[in-house]
Structure 1
Amino acid sequence: MQDGCWPFHLFGANFATESEAKKFVFEQWEPEPPESVSEAEYISWEDRNPTWRLAEELGFSMDSDFVELAGTPQDVIAQIRSQSERVLVSSRVGEFTHFIMVGSNAIWGDRRSTSTQVEPLVRLPESTATITYLGLFN
């Protein structure tokens, strides 16, 4: 990453609003219960939080610090090293209202794996009902 270009998976999506996009892309937390709640109620709150639709749909355990909702298609293109990959993304910008960048190091566990052992990832992200996988860049 010496040239400032970080390796990332790119997704395109169509959301009606920026708020809707953020609710999908980023972790969401219910308000923390007051100190007066029982321990069981607090544990229940912890079990429900956070929710993260992006990670749930992809089926991966992920680090939210390496997930970005791009401001504009040009913001994405500026972070791609290869000219041919820039052209590829440029040709698809009209298809989507939003772009999601997930650092390659953000994905660390496959929730679909049936193994009980910690293993390296063997599958790449893929399109879901909500997002279209555009590839791994840089």
Structure 2
Amino acid sequence: MKLSRQTMSNWVLRATEDYLLPVYEELHRQLVKRGVLHAGETTPRYSTNRERGPRPSYMWLYRTGRDGESPIALYEYQPSRKAEHAAKFLDGFSGYLHTDGYQGYHKLPGNIWVAGYWAHARRKFDEAPTIGRARQRSPD
């Protein structure tokens, strides 16, 4: 028996809602209890309309730090990069949030302390050697 694409899609959606969504929700409850989290977002391509072409959207990642407990990493698809998405996802979280330089994270509630990634700070130091070399020239 050949199954239609719609039937198979419905099975996947139903299995996701019945079995995977409760697991995701429990992992989310556990994630926001931690004291240190990492967050970031990237732009996959997604299109709902073939005539208009791909539309920018965002895949947000939230993960726990290295606190010795079981690591948790959760993804959340959102159609935009608005800070309200992070605020809603992190509702109930209180602690340090390691992020990149996106200013939207600084709009989060006061119980979330935003800390930047060292890798992003290091980028500015990579530019510094050209300045430093000019100062280090020995007098002739």
TM range (shorter): under 0.3
Structure with the higher fraction of residues in helix conformation = 2
Larger Rg: 2
TM-score normalised by length of structure 1: 0.23
TM-score normalised by length of structure 2: 0.23
